[in-house]
Structure 1
């Protein structure tokens, strides 16, 4: 039975690069996939493109391709990635330039576009999923709208001989579905195999998570050599069967437990996982260890895809100012609490205009609040970090928040130190649905 080896070179934009190099050099791969987009990432990329028409692709694109392009070319490994972000065409041109710098010729690079639906969404009558309000009510605060596209354009580009396919907001599992559909010639309505392919994509899309990253919990779940975590490889059969593994000798582990946790990660309904390619059904999936760092996963199926595509909306939501300072030793919590009260009063006295404020003691109540903290049980932390953050309408107002925290150095409780402060624009994320027929992908080819 024909088999395809497909590896995950990244699970998010800022992921490690060394494991991808390891896969390119030692993985024996047919395909290396880099999944580098999140909802906020694409909105930030759109902002970058507005400032510079040649920008908007992933900030680590150059470093990643310089690292893996030569070994992938030597081994015949084809690359699929959504590192194009808001500007796949510019990303493809940059890859061509990198190939030239490395002396690599004859590469065919495909840029998939069409996910940018800002003009269509802005002109239509769409509802925000999270609030039910009209997208039109966002007005000038709407800065981006990108539809989650599926595997079809990726499959087409590979069929046309592309060595590298770079997309914008393709759905995470679709980056893996595309190569598998191309390699095995599966029909676009083979819902069973598309469901299994989506399971494979979901297992691999977060890269190191299925090999032990985001899994380790000392004393409960031990994972070896996380500093050298290896990224996963899927050995896929023509029938959709898959064994998840990794490069021998790399760090981490592949076990039934790591695979089960990843299968359930970010899945609302395992029986109806909505993707652009298929409504996947993971409810009958079985997981079986078949060797050291080798796990067979099977049993996924699927149903016809829906008539809509999800759209990620990027919005401007003002600015956030923040200041932090640390207190340690006996009475640290009390001094930290006093520091918060001082800043609270100072912000009111000086008229800092905010729409939202947070006053946290990191190490005591910052994540789960007073009700769930250990303070009621007599816990007294040796050290705390004061954090004050507020949302404002201007960068100048945001700066004033951190400045007030900084004045605690000489105007607050004893023993404060290590102040940091920042102010930044905030990009918010919302979502809506758009009829599938209103999203048209296109492919542009460049050659090195």
Structure 2
């Protein structure tokens, strides 16, 4: 039975580039997929595009393409990625420029657009998961992008694209598109699409399935994490998946790493809602075939809902933050005094916060003060962060922490402060015909 090999070159926007180069050179791949969009990433990219219409795509796109395009072209590896973010067309143009600079003439680069649905939703009464509408958010809205499916990716590949660049496609769709194209799967073959979604879900986070975000020394040891190899999926025409990695690379592929990734971000294993299918993971089986080779089968599916999850980004508030360290005898007492001073100062100068955190990092910053008696550390880091309605108020929070240098307990050092906008993300459902998808092709 025919099979193809798909490598996962990135699991988030800032991921390492070296493992992708290793995959392209040594993985025997047919496809290399870069999954680089988180929930907030595209809203932030839209902000960048507002300031510069030629920007708004992944900031590492140029570096990644520069590194892998020559190798992929030499080895006949096709690239699929959502690094287009808020501007797939500009990303495709940038990729063409890089290809020409590298002498890769004739390279076909497809841009998939249409996931940006902000304009049609501005006047619609679509209800957000908060109960509000986009209209109620007014001019605070930054972005609205629907999670589109694999169909347009498969279309671009059928048109001969060597590189396919999308915006907000669903993560598994980046892998499902090549499977639909290569194997001719029907768009209503729900069980095949369900198993293909298992493939995409397992590979989409790259190093997480080869031991990254898994290691726990003494309990779950992972070798050579500094040279972590990213995964390869060997996928048969019937959807059977074998997860592996480049021989000699760091990390490991085991039933445990696969099972942890299978459950990652899954609320209901029987109903994993995707734009192409409602996937059912409940009958999936995982079998170790040998070192770094794990077989995965059993994904199923039911008809898609006809609705697409849409992420709406909006300017919610501002956050001001300040940090300072104390060390030596009495460090905890001095840190607590510092927090008391900042709280009182913020009240005295009238800084209003809708949320205020006052933490001693290393003692209570993650789990609070209700852990019972803990040994007093030799050093602590004071952190104060507050959510405000204005940037000016946010700035004052960090300033008050900084003034602890000369107006607070003895021995403070290493002060740091920041103030930033908060782009919040809410979700809604839109009919699948709202995004007007388009595949455009450029040739280097």
Normalised by the shorter chain, which TM-score bucket?
over 0.9
Unaligned runs of 5+ in 1: none
Q: CA deviation at 1:379?
A: 2.2
After superposition, the C-alpha distances for 1:222-262 in whole angstroms (9 at most, x for unaligned) are 00000000000000111111100000000000000000000
* Aligned 1:109-258 pairs, distance under 5 A: 109-129=109-129, 131-258=130-257
State the alpha-carbon separation in 2 of the partners of residues 319 and 90 from structure 1. Answer: 30
- Alignment partner of 1:433 out of 415, 425, 429: 429
Is 2:301 the partner of 1:302?
yes
SS in 2 for 1:45: helix
Is 2:411 the partner of 1:415?
yes
Match of 1:47 in 2: 47
Match of 1:271 in 2: 270
- Alignment partner of 2:376 out of 380, 386, 401: 380
TM-score (norm 1): 0.98
After superposition, the C-alpha distances for 1:414-445 in whole angstroms (9 at most, x for unaligned) are 11111110111111111000011212210111
Aligned length: 444
Q: CA deviation at 1:353?
A: 3.1
State the alpha-carbon separation in 1 of the partners of residues 191 and 267 from structure 2. Answer: 20
Match of 2:105 in 1: 105
After superposition, the C-alpha distances for 1:192-248 in whole angstroms (9 at most, x for unaligned) are 110010000000000000000000011110000000000000001111111000000
State the alpha-carbon separation in 1 of the partners of residues 267 and 436 from structure 2. Answer: 27
8 Å CA contact retained: 2:23, 2:246? yes
8 Å CA contact retained: 2:275, 2:306? no
Match of 1:291 in 2: 290
State the alpha-carbon separation in 2 of the partners of residues 378 and 124 from structure 1. Answer: 54
TM-score (norm 2): 0.99
Unaligned runs of 5+ in 2: none
Q: CA deviation at 1:378?
A: 4.2
State the alpha-carbon separation in 2 of the partners of residues 235 and 139 from structure 1. Answer: 47
Q: CA RMSD in A?
A: 0.9
Q: CA deviation at 1:133?
A: 2.3
Match of 2:16 in 1: 16
State the alpha-carbon separation in 2 of the partners of residues 306 and 229 from structure 1. Answer: 38
Match of 1:393 in 2: 389
Match of 2:361 in 1: 362
SS in 2 for 1:145: strand
SS in 2 for 1:370: coil
8 Å CA contact retained: 2:306, 2:431? yes
State the alpha-carbon separation in 2 of the partners of residues 62 and 393 from structure 1. Answer: 36
Is 2:443 the partner of 1:444?
no
Q: CA deviation at 1:334?
A: 1.2
8 Å CA contact retained: 2:39, 2:425? yes
Q: CA deviation at 1:14?
A: 0.3
After superposition, the C-alpha distances for 1:265-300 in whole angstroms (9 at most, x for unaligned) are 000100110001100000000000001100000111
